[in-house]
Amino acid sequence: MTDKALPFGIAEFQTRLQNTKASMESRGIDILVAADPANMNYLTGYDGWSFYTPQVVIVAKDLDQPICIVRQMDVNGGRVTTYLDDNNMIGFPDTYVQSTECHPMDWIAEEMGRRGIDKGVIGVEMDAYYYSAASHAALVRGLPNATMVDATSLVNWVRVVKSAQEIEYMRRAARIVEKTMRIAYDMIEPGVRQCDAAAAIYQSEISGTPEFGGDYTSLVPLLPTGVGTSTPHLTWTDQPFVSGEATILEIGGAHRHYHCPMARTMHLGKPPQKLADTSEVVVEGIAAALDTVKPGALCEDVEAAWRHSIAKHGLSKDSRLGYSTGVNYPPDWGEHTLSLRQGDKTVLQPNMTIHLIAGIWMDDWGIEISECFRVSEDGCEKFCDFPEPLFVKD
């Protein structure tokens, strides 16, 4: 495998491995078993829709490369997408897949024994979406001489500061989501079915731009409309959009699985005054928050600027204001590390990338506006250039 076949040069993968090992050493971990597909991709380049079966990347302090273990039929996918030597890209037999008599982690534990990496302190991602209770039970059973500890988010925190190439992929994702939001605005009309708008959004996200294509995003398009705007995580139905109602659009662009999310709100026809006024408050609060962003500031400082700004208008938001984002796979484009919320004292560093999502949800209406940004050397860089205020379509 050469650098030309990979989204990153081998040197970058090696740096990621070194940083992961340093984090492991600081926590007294000898071996790391990562099951989060984004972490597997980050450490090796592995990319396939195979995370519905157990699969892992193993990092051991004495090994020069990670070991990637997937279903046997997916091994060649690893040979296509990773920088690993063939003997470090291996598969478990299909008899272990969805069996009631054995589990893939049984085989993985045996393979760890064969390679002499079945002892010491082993870190596992206890809260990763695709690391199930059955997976953990099988691994514990198969590694009786190991001490198992929780290493959830260890690699996620290594990922939190992005390289120049990662930033470039997110900028490309921004161009995709800008195009897609414009298409969504054009598509949403009274009488148009919500599902048809969702289809147009998907087409745009995946086709990308003439210069570069898009990937599937970790979240589906979120399109709450009407009274549905009172809650953030509804998708779409086959019902038509209605004049006199608002629609929240939370969508994303993705390139090489690096994401740039964006949320905006539009209204068909003249909006209620409360919605128009709240839009202005939210835009003002976002500006206050982004003005606070700089290296050395704390996550809670950014949230406080937003909170104090909207409080002047009698508004509040109980949920967090934002989170780190970057490379990811379904079901979430958040990195599960820092959050823009009260009490999060994470120090902002250049090339952290964050999705600031300002949402106000009332009993029967709501509004969302967001910005994905990079912490720059002296402030912040918004990835997208797209109007924030409530979009009114007559």
Q: What is the pLDDT of residues 118-175, one digit of tens each?
A: 999 999 999 999 999 999 999 999 999 999 999 999 999 999 999 999 999 999 999 9
Task: Check whether 3 has a pLDDT greater than 50.
Answer: no
pLDDT tens digit sequence for 305-321: 999 999 999 999 999 99
Task: Check whether 324 has a pLDDT greater than 60.
Answer: yes
What are the sequence ranges of the domains in the chain? 3-159, 164-393
Dihedrals φ, ψ of 44, to 5°?
-130, -20
Residue among 86, 257, 81, 254 at smallest CA distance from 175: 254
Sequence-ordered list of residues with C-beta below 8 angstroms from that of 342, at least 6 positions apart, any chain: 300, 303, 304, 307
- Common-topology check for domains 3-159 and 164-393: no
Pick the CATH number of 164-393 from 3.30.70.270, 3.20.20.140, 1.10.3720.10, 3.90.230.10: 3.90.230.10
pLDDT attached to residue 296: 98
d(Cα 13, Cα 339) in Å, to the nearest integer?
26
d(Cα 54, Cα 60) in Å, to the nearest integer?
19
Residue among 37, 44, 34, 39 at smallest CA distance from 7: 44
The mean pLDDT of the chain is 97
Crossing angle of helices 133-142 and 104-114, rounded to 10°: 30
Task: Show the tokens assigned to 142.
Answer: 């198969």
Task: Check whether 2 has a pLDDT greater than 80.
Answer: no
pLDDT attached to residue 350: 98
pTM: 0.96
pLDDT tens digit sequence for 335-394: 999 999 999 999 999 999 999 999 999 999 999 999 999 999 999 999 999 999 999 999
d(Cα 257, Cα 264) in Å, to the nearest integer?
22
Q: What is the band of 5 on the pLDDT scale with cuts at 50, 70, 90?
A: confident
d(Cα 90, Cα 200) in Å, to the nearest integer?
39
d(Cα 384, Cα 259) in Å, to the nearest integer?
12
CA distances from 56 to 36, 131, 289, 293 (A): 8, 9, 38, 36
pLDDT attached to residue 9: 95
Q: Strand ranges (DSSP E) for the chain?
A: 31-34, 56-60, 67-71, 89-92, 120-124, 146-150, 246-255, 258-268, 322-325, 334-340, 353-361, 366-375, 380-382, 391-393
pLDDT attached to residue 77: 96
pLDDT tens digit sequence for 65-76: 999 999 999 999
pLDDT attached to residue 4: 47
The CATH topology of domain 3-159 is Creatine Amidinohydrolase; Chain A, domain 1 (3.40.350)
pLDDT attached to residue 1: 41
Angle at 96 between CA 93 and CA 100, to 5 degrees: 160
Task: Check whether 225 has a pLDDT greater than 70.
Answer: yes
CA distances from 172 to 46, 59, 202, 254 (A): 21, 30, 17, 8
- Kindly state the average pLDDT of the residues 103-111: 98
pLDDT tens digit sequence for 32-55: 999 999 999 999 999 999 999 999
d(Cα 353, Cα 205) in Å, to the nearest integer?
20
DSSP string, 225-267: BGGGGGSS-----SSBP-TT-EEEEEEEEEETTEEEEEEEEEE
